[in-house]
Structure 1
Amino acid sequence: MFDWMVWTTPVAVFFTCIVLMLIGMTIWELKSPTTLRRGWLPIATTRGDRLFIGLLAAAYVNLVFVGIAGKLQEWMSLEAEPSVWISFVLSMLLLALIMRKG
């Protein structure tokens, strides 16, 4: 069923985190319904909106990192490409920031 994708540990951790966030947000929404609020995003958002925007931003951070990893290796004279765990941590920090302040 999942043979079409290369399931490395970082990929599995990333998708597991997304599933856990969705489960957690569902439980949170059932216990405490959300309201619109304004943060530094240019629109009023709910928790679900901020999660969606944060997940999109996290995906873009990961894609950009994968795209420039070869150049980073070249620019920084590294022996190997930088670990994708760096982009995972950066994307989760961005997601947390958007969820908290967005």
Structure 2
Amino acid sequence: MLDFSWMAWTWPTVAFFLTIAALIAAMGVWEWASPGGAPRFGILRFQTTRGDRLFLSLLGSAFICLGWLWLTEVPLAYALGVCVLYAILVFRLV
């Protein structure tokens, strides 16, 4: 079994970073399978590609989680649903 005590990592922290790595890998596979992903103008009125939208969704999700921790005592796991909804909206509208 893996021991992450040398960095004081917990399994949720490991899962978090593995999820980000998997998202980046999936984006690479998507780009390889369907090159280009024509840039488009969304509601923010600047040109974005799939990678830009992934970055915006990850960055926004980080702020959603920080705000969740700051504003509420509800477990952070519930913020995951908000982050997923946010990411879907970013990929559809931005």
With normalisation by structure 1, the TM-score equals: 0.74
Residue 38 of structure 1 pairs with residue 41 of structure 2: yes
Q: 1:22 to 1:59 in 2, by over 3 A?
A: same
Query: How many residues align structurally?
Result: 90
- CA–CA distance in 2 between the matches of 1:63 and 1:88? 12
Give the conservation status (yes or no) of the 8 Å contact 1:36–1:44.
yes
Q: 1:93 to 1:14 in 2, by over 3 A?
A: farther
Give the conservation status (yes or no) of the 8 Å contact 1:14–1:88.
no
Following superposition, the deviation at residue 68 of structure 1 comes to: 1.6
* Structure 1: 4+ residue segments shifted above 4 A: none
* Percent identity (aligned): 31
Residue 22 of structure 1 pairs with residue 27 of structure 2: no
Q: What CA RMSD, in Å, does the superposition of the two structures yield over aligned residues?
A: 2.0
With normalisation by structure 2, the TM-score equals: 0.80
- CA–CA distance in 2 between the matches of 1:93 and 1:5? 31
SS in 1 for 2:43: coil
Gaps of 5+ in 1: 70-80
Deviates more, 1:12-21 or 1:52-61: 12-21
- CA–CA distance in 1 between the matches of 2:7 and 2:88? 30
The equivalent of 2:88 in structure 1 is 96
Which fold has the larger relative contact order, with Cα–Cα distance below 8 Å and residues 6 or more apart in sequence? 1
